[in-house]
Amino acid sequence: MAVVECSAPDCAFKTDDVSEALAIALLTNHGLAHQRAPYVATDPMLAPAPQGPNLDCPRVDVGVSIEEWNVFIRRWEVFRSRSGIGNAQAPFQLFQCAGPELGDSLLKANATVASGSLPDLITAVGFMTRTYAGRCWGPLTF
Ligand SMILES: [Zn+2]
């Protein structure tokens, strides 16, 4: 039986008095905790979202009417503010709202669409949605 102490500085971990094989396994497993880089939220955009019930991402797909599109944009703004989504994550998050057909179409049109700017993506999503709707909405305003 053996008690093995962690060799990392400032670490008080030691195994119970167990067999040598188990002690080594425990220490190896414990050692993984020292390998993870400490998470430092220096970017305010990475700050945790405000507490509250998780909202579902609003969905939009090709062929919606302008009324449905306007509702989607309003729901997206609520979802974004309630979820604490910063500018850096917004395009990616908005892309996640796209239904499968819309998402595919956006990616075919622009493979890096989800990493561009949010206004560009909203314009692209709106354009794609409107195009597939097969009717003219008139000028889009955001
Ligand atoms: Zn340790």
Domain that holds residue 69: 57-133
Q: Is residue 92 part of a domain?
A: yes
d(CA 43, ligand 1 centre) in Å: 28
Q: Is residue 69 part of a domain?
A: yes
pLDDT for 106 equals 82
pLDDT for 136 equals 47
Average pLDDT, integer, range 54-63? 81
Per residue in 66-106, pLDDT (tens digit) is: 888 889 989 999 899 888 888 888 888 888 898 888 888 88
d(CA 35, ligand 1 centre) in Å: 10
Closest to 69 (Cα-Cα) out of 134, 117, 140: 140
d(CA 40, ligand 1 centre) in Å: 20
Q: Is residue 34 part of a domain?
A: no
d(CA 20, ligand 1 centre) in Å: 17
Q: Is residue 39 part of a domain?
A: no
d(CA 120, ligand 1 centre) in Å: 48
Q: Is residue 48 part of a domain?
A: no
**Number of domains within the chain:** 1
State yes or no: pLDDT of 41 exceeds 70. Answer: no
Using CA atoms, how far apart are residues 92 and 80, in angstroms rounded to an integer? Answer: 12
Using CA atoms, how far apart are residues 26 and 20, in angstroms rounded to an integer? Answer: 10
d(CA 41, ligand 1 centre) in Å: 23
3-state helix, strand, coil split of the chain in percent (to 5) is: 50, 5, 45
The three-class DSSP label of residue 114 is: helix
